[in-house]
Structure 1
Amino acid sequence: MPAFAEGEILVIQSVKIAPYEEALNGFISAQDQKIKQVVLTETQSFDIRDEIERTQPPLILAIGRDALMNVKDIRDIPVIYIMVLSPNQILDNSQNFYGINMNVHPEKQLEAFIGAIPKLKNIGLIYNPDNTGELAEEAARAAEKKEVSLVIKKAEKAGDVVNALKGMAESINAFWMFPDVTLLTPESMELLLITSIEKEIPLLTFSTKYLEMGAILSVAVDPYDMGIQAGELAQKILAGDNHKESRLIFARKGVITLNKKVAGKIGIELKQYEELHEKKD
C-alpha cells in the first residue's frame, strides 16, 4: 500500500445520531484503516486545518451536511461524504471529493413504486435543476424503460412549487418526492400533503420521516450499507484507484416502508415489500 495510506482516517460527523452511527459502523467494517472520529456538536472550536496538520490523515470521511460544510475547502486529501442531501449546494467540481447518493437508483425506486402500486401510470415530479437535475434525467430514462409517464416541472426555489404542483395535480396519480433541500420546506410539504389528501394522490418518498407526515411509501437508503459502500470506496482510493468515473454513486440498497393507514384514506391498496437491493457490478 502506498505511503499516503498510512495513518488514521479522519471521520468528521455532524452529530451523534443513530443513522450516522450506523453508517460509521458500516464504514469501519469495510476497510482496514484505523479512524479518528470528531463529532462537531461535541467539539468546541474545531479547526479542520489544524487537525489535518496534526494527524496527517490519508483520507477524510464526512458524515452529514454540517460535516461536509466543514471540509468543503480541503483540496489535498481525498474526501468521501455520505448522508448529505443536495451536496451540489456545498461543493464545486473539486476532484478530491467522492460521495454516496442519498438515493438508490431511480429505476430501482420505480420498481418499488410499481410493485406496491401496479396501476401507476402518470407520476408527477418537481426538481431544482441545480440540485437534482442529473437525478431527474435518470428518473426520466427509468420511466421510459418502465413505460411510466413522468410529468416533470422545474422549480428553482420553494415558492415555485405552488404553480408547478397546480399545473400537474389533475393529470397525475402519484407524486415522486426528490431529496432537494431547496424544495422540501415546511410550506412545500404542507402543500404536497394537502394536495395528496384532496386529490387522492399518493406521495412516494425517499425517507421514512415523510411517511410520518403523510406519504404512503418510502424507498430509503440503508445507512449501514451506505457506510460499507463508502468503506469499499476508501479502500480503492487508498490503493491508488482515483475512481474518476464515479464522483457520486447511488446507494445500492434501499429499504421499502409502507404507510397503509394513509394509503387506505386515499383509496390506495399497497402490496408489501421490505428490501430493495441494487445489483453489484
Structure 2
Amino acid sequence: MTGPDPIDTSKPHPARVYDWFLGGKDNYPVDEEMAKQLLMLDARGPDMAKVNRAFMHRAVRWLGTTGGVRQYLDIGTGIPTEPNLHQLAQAAAPESRVVYTDNDPIVLRHAEALLRSTPEGVTAYVQADVREPEAIIEAAGKVLDLGRPVALSLLALLHFVSDEDGAYELVHRLLDPLPSGSYLVLSHATGDFDRRSADSAREMYEQRGLTLAVRSREQFATFFKGLELVEPGVSLAADWRPDLGEVVPVPGDEPVPGYAGVARKI
C-alpha cells in the first residue's frame, strides 16, 4: 500500500460526487456543486447511485453462493458504505479474500475500515488507477491466488474511461491473467434514454478536466465479448436478479439509466 497523496479539492472527483449522491459526508464543496448541477440535468442522480449499490449487493450475493467465488478484485472502490463488498462476500463465505483498488487518496484514509476482515479471510487495499492494469494485477497477486477464480468488479467506473484511453483493452488486460471460472462484474451509465442530458453531463465533466463516456447497451455488451453471461445477461441495473433482494424503489415510469451484467470467463 502506498502512502496517501494530498487530496485535490480544486476539482470534483467521481468517487466523492457519488458519495454525495449516497448521502455521505466524505466530499467537498466542489463535489457538492457538481452533484447539484448534475441533478439539474437529471434529478435521479441519487437513485442511480442507490440502484448501482443495490446491484453490487445482489451480484456479490450471487457470486458468493451460486457462483462459488472466494476471491474478489474490486477496482474503483470509492468511499465505503455498509455493507461493503467484503462484508457481503465474507457473509457468504468467511474465508473470502478481497482486494480493493482506487486512485482517490480519500479512499485510502478509509482503508482501516475496509481492512476489517473476518479472521478466516483477508481484505487488502491498493492505491492505483484502472489505467495501470499490470500494476494492479501484480499487487493483487500478493493477496489473491491468481491460479484460482477471481471476481473482477468495475462498478460505475468504465464510463469514466474513454474509448481513446482504451476502455475495452483495459478490461481485457485485467481479465487475461485471471483463470477460467473467473467473473467480470460491470455496471455503467447510459445515454440511451436521454441523449441530451447525457451530452450535457459529458460537457460538464470535460469542463472540469474529467471524462464521461456514457455508452449504449450494445457498446456496454461489448465488454463481455468472449465471456459467458449469467442470466439475465445485460440488463438495466435495477432489473438484474431482483429475486436476490436489495431492490431500490424508484419513482416515475422512466428507467434508471444504467446497465449491468455478470459474466464468466470460459
TM-score range normalised by the length of the shorter chain? 0.3 to 0.5
Q: TM-score, normalised on structure 2?
A: 0.39
**Larger relative CO (CA 8 A, sep 6+): 1 or 2?**
1
Work out which of the two has the higher radius of gyration on C-alpha atoms and give 1 or 2: 1
Q: TM-score, normalised on structure 1?
A: 0.38
